[in-house]
Amino acid sequence: MKKVWNQVAYNLKKDRSSYISFGIIILITALILNCAAVLLVQVDPAYVAKFEKLNTADINVLVPEFRHNSDVEAALAELSGIEKAESHEALFLEATVRDFLDTDFAMNTVFYKLEDARTMNTFEMVSESENEVKNPIYVPLYICVVGGFQVGDEITYVLNGKTHIFTVAGVIEEMQYGNYGASMMCAYLPEDGFQALAAELDGKAVVEYSLTLREGADLEKTKETVSKELEKEGAMMLSCLDRQKVKTTRNQVCNLLILILTAFALIILAVSVFLSNFRVKNAIESEIVNMSVLKALGYTSGQIVAGISMPYAMVALLFSALGVGVSYAVLPLLASVLTFQSGFSFAVAFDFVSLAAVVGVLTLVVTFFTVISAGKIKKTQPIDGLRGNSGSKQSKRNPLPLAETRGNTQILLVLKQMFACKKQNVLLFLVCFALTVLVAFSGTLFYNVAIKPENFMSALSDETPDVIVYSENADVTALQNKLLAEPNVENALQYVTGSVKIGDKTATVFACEDFSKTRNDVCYEGKNPQKADEIALGNAFAENYNIGDTVTVKLGDMAKTFQVTGFVQSVNLNGELCTLSMAGYESLSEAPVIPSLYVYLKKNTDAAAFISRIEERYADMVSQTANAQKLMEEAQSMYMGITVVLTVVIFIVTVLIVLFILYIVIKSLLIKRRQELGIYKAMGYTSAQLIWQTAGSFMPVSVAAILLSSVAALVYMPGIFQVIFEALGVMKHSMEVSLGFLMLFAAVEIILNLMISIILCMPIRKISAYALIKE
Amino acid sequence: MKGNKQTIIEAKNLKKSFRTGDTEQTIFENLDLNLYKGDFTIIMGSSGAGKSTLMYSLSGMDRPTAGEVIFNGKTITSLNDDKLAIFRRRNCGFVFQQIYLLDKMSLMDNVLTASALCDESKKDVIRRARELFDLVNIPEVTQKKFPSQVSGGEAQRAGIVRAVINKPEVLFADEPTGALNSGNSMAVLDVFTKLHNEGQSIIMVTHDKKTALRGNRVLYVRDGKIFGECDLGRYTEENKEREAKLNDFLMEMGW
């Protein structure tokens, strides 16, 4: 064993800087992989733990209060699959929060009584005002983190057209309605405030039935039973959320992040494996004489292989552990990003299982491949090695013979040098190809978020007007005509958002007088409804219905059959939506429909200025407005921030990896070609010529890999985005892969490669022709 | 000038020393020397006398510690590394004992790699390379082989072709037959003689008397100085007198 340790120590000492470079790549891999592993291991249990800690119900159903009686609750509690039922009074309506991200934020909101005794759906107070405040309200973490509110701040809700100013008395964390993805928010009011609001909001009183399931009960089947029971009792469901739906929407970004991080880490791991293979094979070629001397002295092949492989195993072990350590500095940052989206706080804890898995996998993979590569030494007889023959087939082919090949001799020399180093070319090709895929991914994301934001936003949002105007009275058409006559208005459409029941599922319904004039066509298959009996269903219904089928839709007590004309998507509603023509919606509604007006402004029109103008001009006709353009811009700037960070991080990591790999490749090459470079210098080649010649020899392969990868990205990137968006529930997207942008990134990568290569080749200056003779 | 001979290299107060820790080892000091155009100069001396070091200092391959080397009227000791490389490519050809051909290139490619730096057209260079290969008796089929596929003699003769392809002012050779058997050595020396007869200036380091006989001027290095020199006259195959003269000279030098 001592003999092996001597070899290990010799190898580590001899090529310290290359091992450190290799170690840094392993560190980056471990860092990213551990982030993914910790999120994978900890987010779900943290979610479940919090879910259980707060006794969150498995199913939460809202029904109008007038439909409620004690029999309903008792009947629900008796259902098979239900362990416990609890009911609470609440108020349910669409509320608009003013100055949410500096704009108006409309969302279905459930107001609860703070003092209500609860055994289910309890909440945790994250922070609370120490002093008594005027009109106190307790809002979920999401409102504070995303909306920019703090304890003590005033928060304005517009409810049923009336402005209510509250003070944030506390920030709560709960696991049912606290995230935008479920399209429902909650807020808690003290008894006085709740009663005052209830008195004002006639017809908005609801009862929430919170239900927990018996162990082993099927969620979907129980939901179906609950729905049927409520129907039997004559209680119309206004909303039905279940634990699975909420969990999916809350953890969407987290799962996507884990997916991207894992893919990223695996690509870098593959690069590390190529690199260790290259280094091992190179070391064998340059050290074959020494290794053969050891063999001749009686060292076994196993001892020599161990001597070569162990430094890599040790470096992988040490640096992967370091990478895991560093990841704990990054993870809180990722956790805060996740809090942003999921609305539940998550504290990262040290995870020994992830540490063991990441360090173990990286060390084993690196060791396995280096042992395989070093196995070559077993086939070499000592005498062959002493004669300098490593057992590899020596090329007898002379690529591009100078006398017979046309062209500039110096360029031909660069190409000859390139052909002479096949292993190096393979490594460079694979590395450049893999890293360009990463750069192309982040570049495409950047292009669609920052340069052409409409592509990204149309995939993640529903209809995107510039301004939403609510009419003061029932004559919406009169206001619509006035708005259409405004100089900066391109179009104004009547639009309704509501809630209907399709089978056992509650779905959000969007009705529009003409979907062909909307900005964001969410229909991904078939067509939008045009006639009164047509409907397009959300992707959640796509499994059960086909185009041409008929479907019964209920709104209150009214039920009507519609023909399916297509399928529509929505990232925020879990696919549980549908679109109807305005006539179709009106035929379903018992009460007269008062649509809002979606106003589309001409390019470069300031929505805020437009709102001020119409609020002043049509004060008697406009009850409320929302600056959708601003909300969109804010959302866009949030996504842009994340994307810019992602793009910059991927680019920096790519440059770092290319730097380290080129460092290792060039260092190996300079050691191997030291004599050759001395000969060139003796012939009169200058250092600059040799630096360009050597750096230039990497370029054909790098350029080919980068260009091929860019072409592959051009062809396959839409498919990759399709898979990602489908995971988010978006079936159709407009993400463009810009050839120009790809070429720009490719050009930057090529120039960086050349610059790094030139800088790393600078030690050629120190190789003297005379050193040849001295050696 | 010496008689009608034109000085091609002039060394003034040349010093070369190496420092190892606090110890300075002087190879030569205050050395003055003139070398002439058209001469086949042999530098001899015992092992470690500094004959190779002297030759490489004169050729711009190495930098002397002090003093001046004037090559064809131009001081080369003040040139930077790159200018020195350009100077070498235009004025010097080198033949080494270890041959030092580029092992991943054919013999022809080795020669053309050196010629890539000259201003001649590629066509002319290839024609000249073929002529030189003919001169050193390397057939076309061997020209396409790699150094590892030919004999030491063939490789060294290819090395000579590479050294002279750019028509250097001076051909420097450091023990060119040191690693060759007698048959190959003779073939290589014959090439040097042919080149000298065509007017090529040659400076060769050797410790072999038979090789030294090919030169017309022999310098003997001892104790860091040119200890003596001997004018042998032009080489002819049957010249016992030259051989005796060299023997006497070397005996006198303490060989």
Q: Do residues A604 and A471 share a domain?
A: yes
Q: In whole angstroms, what is the distance from residue B208 CA to residue B192 CA?
A: 15
Contact residues, chain B, for A396 at CB < 8 Å: 146, 149
Which stretches of chain A drop beneath a pLDDT of 70?
A: 1-3, 67-68, 101-103, 178-183, 236, 340-341, 343, 385, 387-396, 460-461, 571-572, 634-639, 642, 728-729, 772-775
Residue of A nearest to B82 (CA): A686
Reading the block at residue A462, the tokens are 């529903």
Alpha-carbon distances, residue A519 vs A246, A599, A730 (angstroms): 29, 11, 17
Task: Answer yes or no: is A433 within a domain.
Answer: yes
| B62 reaches A (C-beta below 8 A) | yes
Q: What is the pLDDT of residue A166?
A: 94
Task: Answer yes or no: is A105 within a domain.
Answer: yes
Interchain pair A683, B117: CB under 8 A: yes
Interchain pair A773, B90: CB under 8 A: no
Element (H, E) at A188: strand A184-189
**Which segments of A15-137 does DSSP mark as H helices, in order?**
16-53, 70-78
Q: Do residues A111 and A183 share a domain?
A: yes
Q: How far is A384 from chain B (nearest CA, A)?
A: 14
Mean residue pLDDT across chain B: 90
pTM: 0.70
Task: Answer yes or no: is A17 within a domain.
Answer: no
| A592 reaches B (C-beta below 8 A) | no
Neighbours of B201 (CB within 10 A): 21
Element (H, E) at A428: helix A422-446
Q: What is the pLDDT of residue A124?
A: 87
Alpha-carbon distances, residue A466 vs A127, A589, A604, A629 (angstroms): 35, 27, 11, 4
Alpha-carbon distances, residue A154 vs A105, A133, A138, A149, B232 (angstroms): 15, 10, 12, 8, 110
A409: nearest CB among B82, B96, B116: B116
- CB distance A237 to A62 below 8 Å: yes
Q: How far is A660 from chain B (nearest CA, A)?
A: 27
A683: nearest CB among B62, B89, B122: B89
Torsions phi, psi of A315, nearest 5?
Answer: -65, -45
| A381 reaches B (C-beta below 8 A) | no
Among B84, B109, B169, most A C-beta atoms within 10 A, so best to mutate, is B109
- CB distance B11 to B32 below 8 Å: yes
Task: Answer yes or no: is A277 within a domain.
Answer: no
Interchain pair A416, B109: CB under 8 A: yes
β-sheet bridge partners, residue A87? A209
Name all domains of chain B by residue range, CATH numbers in brackets: 37-54+79-253 (3.40.50.300)
Task: Answer yes or no: is A458 within a domain.
Answer: yes
- CB distance A577 to A568 below 8 Å: yes
Q: Do residues A416 and A483 share a domain?
A: no
Torsions phi, psi of A595, nearest 5?
Answer: -75, 160
Interchain pair B104, A686: CB under 8 A: no
Contact residues, chain B, for A683 at CB < 8 Å: 88-89, 94, 113-114, 117, 162
Alpha-carbon distances, residue A227 vs A201, A223, A471, A679, A716 (angstroms): 26, 6, 35, 87, 44
B112: nearest CB among A402, A687, A772: A402
Residue of A nearest to B175 (CA): A773
Contact residues, chain A, for B149 at CB < 8 Å: 396
Q: How far is A398 from chain B (nearest CA, A)?
A: 7
Q: Do residues A480 and A453 share a domain?
A: no
Q: What is the pLDDT of residue A390?
A: 54
From A182, A202, A234, the end of a domain falls on: A234
Q: In whole angstroms, what is the distance from residue A550 CA to residue A560 CA?
A: 10
Reading the block at residue A250, the tokens are 């809350």
| B70 reaches A (C-beta below 8 A) | no
Nearest to A454 by CA among A732, A719, A735, A717: A735
Interchain pair A684, B89: CB under 8 A: yes
A541: Cβ contacts below 8 Å, ≥ 6 apart: A502, A505, A507, A551, A567, A575, A576, A578
Domain containing residue A767? 400-462+629-775
Reading the block at residue A247, the tokens are 């969990």
A19: Cβ contacts below 8 Å, ≥ 6 apart: A12, A311, A312, A315
Alpha-carbon distances, residue B199 vs A597, A608, B90, B130, B183 (angstroms): 100, 93, 17, 20, 25
Task: Answer yes or no: is A240 within a domain.
Answer: no
Interchain pair B113, A398: CB under 8 A: no
- CB distance A294 to A284 below 8 Å: no
| A398 reaches B (C-beta below 8 A) | yes
Q: Do residues A436 and A570 share a domain?
A: no
Q: Do residues A415 and A448 share a domain?
A: yes
Interchain pair B52, A773: CB under 8 A: yes
Element (H, E) at A104: strand A103-113
| A336 reaches B (C-beta below 8 A) | no
Q: What is the pLDDT of residue A721?
A: 84
Nearest to A726 by CA among A575, A509, A578: A575
From A577, A608, A626, the end of a domain falls on: A626
Distance of CA A365 to the CA centre of its chain: 27
| B96 reaches A (C-beta below 8 A) | yes
Q: Do residues A162 and A116 share a domain?
A: yes
| A681 reaches B (C-beta below 8 A) | yes
Alpha-carbon distances, residue A396 vs A399, B104, B130, B145 (angstroms): 9, 9, 22, 8
**CA diameter of chain A:** 103
Q: Do residues A202 and A105 share a domain?
A: yes
Interchain pair B90, A403: CB under 8 A: no
Interchain pair B81, A680: CB under 8 A: no
Q: Which residue has the tokens 């179709």?
A: A584
| A397 reaches B (C-beta below 8 A) | no
Contact residues, chain B, for A413 at CB < 8 Å: 113, 116
Residue of A nearest to B118 (CA): A684
Q: Do residues A408 and A516 share a domain?
A: no
Task: Answer yes or no: is A272 within a domain.
Answer: no
Task: Answer yes or no: is A357 within a domain.
Answer: no
Contact residues, chain B, for A403 at CB < 8 Å: 108-109, 112, 126, 129
Q: Do residues A719 and A642 share a domain?
A: yes
Interchain pair B82, A686: CB under 8 A: yes
pLDDT digits (tens, 9 = 90+) for B62-111: 889 999 999 999 999 999 888 888 899 889 999 998 888 988 889 999 99
Reading the block at residue A42, the tokens are 């900890």
pLDDT digits (tens, 9 = 90+) for B213-242: 999 999 999 988 899 999 998 888 777 889
A770: nearest CB among B62, B114, B129: B62
Contact residues, chain B, for A395 at CB < 8 Å: 104
From A598, A626, A654, the end of a domain falls on: A626
Reading the block at residue A34, the tokens are 């551990």
Q: What is the pLDDT of residue A388?
A: 60
Domains of chain A: total: 3
Interchain pair B114, A687: CB under 8 A: no
Reading the block at residue A684, the tokens are 């009169």
Looking at residue B179, what DSSP letter applies?
T
Interchain pair B100, A770: CB under 8 A: no
Q: How far is A428 from chain B (nearest CA, A)?
A: 21
Which of the residue ranges A298-302, A324-328, B37-41, B135-139 would you say has the lowest mean pLDDT?
A298-302
Q: Do residues A617 and A472 share a domain?
A: yes
Interchain pair A773, B114: CB under 8 A: no
Q: In whole angstroms, what is the distance from residue A72 CA to residue A233 CA?
A: 7
B109: nearest CB among A402, A676, A683: A402
Q: Do residues A224 and A82 share a domain?
A: yes
Interchain pair A683, B105: CB under 8 A: no
Residue of B nearest to A767 (CA): B81
**Which segments of A447-581 does DSSP mark as H helices, in order?**
453-460, 476-484
**Which segments of A54-156 does DSSP mark as H helices, in order?**
70-78, 141-147
A686: nearest CB among B85, B146, B149: B85
**CA diameter of chain B:** 54
